[in-house]
Amino acid sequence: MKILIYSPAFFPSVGGLETLVSILAEQFVESGHEVKIVSQTPGSAANGISFEIIRRPSAVKLLSLMRWCELYFQPNISLRGLWPLMFLSRPWVASHNNWYQRADGRRALQDRLKHHLARRATGVSVSRAVANHVESPSVIIPNAYRADVFRPMPQVTRNRDLVFAGRLVSDKGCDVLLDALASLRSRGMKPTLTIVGNGPEESALRIQTNNLGLAGQVEFAGVRRDSELAQILNAHRIMVVPSRWPEPFGIVALEGIACGCVVVGSEGGGLKDAIGPCGITFPNGDAEALSEAIAALLTDVQKFESFQTAWEAHLAQHQPAAVAGAYLQVFEKAAERNRRRSRLVNPPVSARKARNVKV
């Protein structure tokens, strides 16, 4: 099958969606399919990529790519990339990886339009929460993680307590984690915390750390990616994902679990699907509830170990081959439906002649 993927953001841009698209594209190629990716992100191809990336194509070029493909896949509906479907009939699959609404919950015109258009696509949602949000039929296929990178490393000593990995922005809730750490300190518990990442809130978080008297417990490690990040995760017992906003999914939780961490994460949205039976959830933004969850894991060895025993079965459904295989099943069904519609609209010549025979 010739698969055209329209992903406005892609490598060298870094994010959960970019990671998923790269994983899927590689797996599709390994399964014998031809893949091309259209992106609006400038840059050059990385070494070892087995598919073509077309960056910022002209309208003529995009239309020619649509003629080439046998299936059009959009990870998140992009209005800018839909116009070729007005001229060429192709099976269209859209995966819903995020919320189609503003940060405050309002639906602007373009959000309402995406919800309307979602009814016309063959839909995939990355979590139950997203499936309920879209309000049109979709198959739930969870996200994959890079299993070749994030894995147990027995040679790394697991001698640290808590780790946070993500952008240092208010939505990610690192300030909530620091407040929870201060609450634990008031009860005589002083777990270590490594903060991996950078962002506009870093200065404020450093000030908060000092004001709460946590400087001796907290290390700001900066940006770490791939194997370097995996090594850091392997050195920690607990990953904390304290997002204030409802995460649509949360690949970072899978990365932590794959490296042997038990995860504590906010329960709103789809993050609880990513955590599954491998950790604890707490109400978004509730620092006291977060401190209680961390304390429970630090003091109850049996409880902690019970979450670790579930990781293998949970991660099996997030392996790249398993996730890509589920997508390909959806693609095949969408392609078959499109073929049936085409036969109804344009029946074979023999069928048209048969209808014209006079008895």
- Looking at the fold, whether 116 and 241 belong to one and the same domain comes out as no
The SS3 assignment for 91 reads coil
- Looking at the fold, whether 178 and 279 belong to one and the same domain comes out as yes
Which residues neighbour 187 within 8 Å (Cβ) at sequence distance 6 or greater?
A: 295
- Looking at the fold, whether 17 and 51 belong to one and the same domain comes out as yes
Q: For Cα atoms 295, 297, 302, give the angle at the middle one, nearest 5 degrees.
A: 135
CATH code for the domain of 305: 3.40.50.2000
Is 352 part of any domain? no
CB 174 within 8 A of CB 206: no
- Looking at the fold, whether 172 and 90 belong to one and the same domain comes out as no
| pTM greater than 0.85 | yes
Cα distance between residue 95 and residue 24, in whole Å? 12
Is 233 part of any domain? yes
Is 358 part of any domain? no
What pLDDT tens digit does each residue of the chain (359 aa) get? 999 999 999 998 888 899 999 999 999 999 999 999 999 999 876 667 899 999 999 999 999 999 999 999 999 999 999 999 999 999 999 999 999 999 899 999 999 999 999 999 999 999 999 999 998 999 999 999 999 999 999 999 999 999 999 999 999 999 999 999 999 999 999 999 999 999 999 999 999 999 999 999 999 999 999 999 999 999 999 999 999 999 999 999 999 999 999 999 999 999 999 999 999 999 999 999 999 999 999 999 999 999 999 999 999 999 999 999 999 999 999 999 988 887 776 665 454 454 554 44
Q: Which residues sit opposite 37 in a β-bridge?
A: 5, 53
Q: What is the pLDDT of residue 122?
A: 97
Count of domains forming the chain = 2
Is 236 part of any domain? yes
- Looking at the fold, whether 294 and 329 belong to one and the same domain comes out as no
- Looking at the fold, whether 325 and 288 belong to one and the same domain comes out as no
The domain of 193 spans 160-311
- Looking at the fold, whether 191 and 285 belong to one and the same domain comes out as yes
CB 236 within 8 A of CB 158: yes
Is 359 part of any domain? no
Q: What is the pLDDT of residue 342?
A: 77
Q: What is the pLDDT of residue 358?
A: 47
- Looking at the fold, whether 192 and 114 belong to one and the same domain comes out as no
Cα distance between residue 61 and residue 257, in whole Å? 42
Q: Which residues sit opposite 138 in a β-bridge?
A: 123
- Looking at the fold, whether 271 and 181 belong to one and the same domain comes out as yes
Distances in Å between the Cα of 314 and the Cα atoms of 2, 94, 155, 233 are 31, 25, 24, 18
Q: Dig out the tokens for 22 from the structure.
A: 């790269």
- Looking at the fold, whether 287 and 333 belong to one and the same domain comes out as no
Cα distance between residue 51 and residue 17, in whole Å? 17
Cα distance between residue 142 and residue 140, in whole Å? 6
- Work out whether strand 52-55 and strand 71-75 pair parallel, antiparallel, or are unpaired: unpaired
- Looking at the fold, whether 62 and 136 belong to one and the same domain comes out as yes
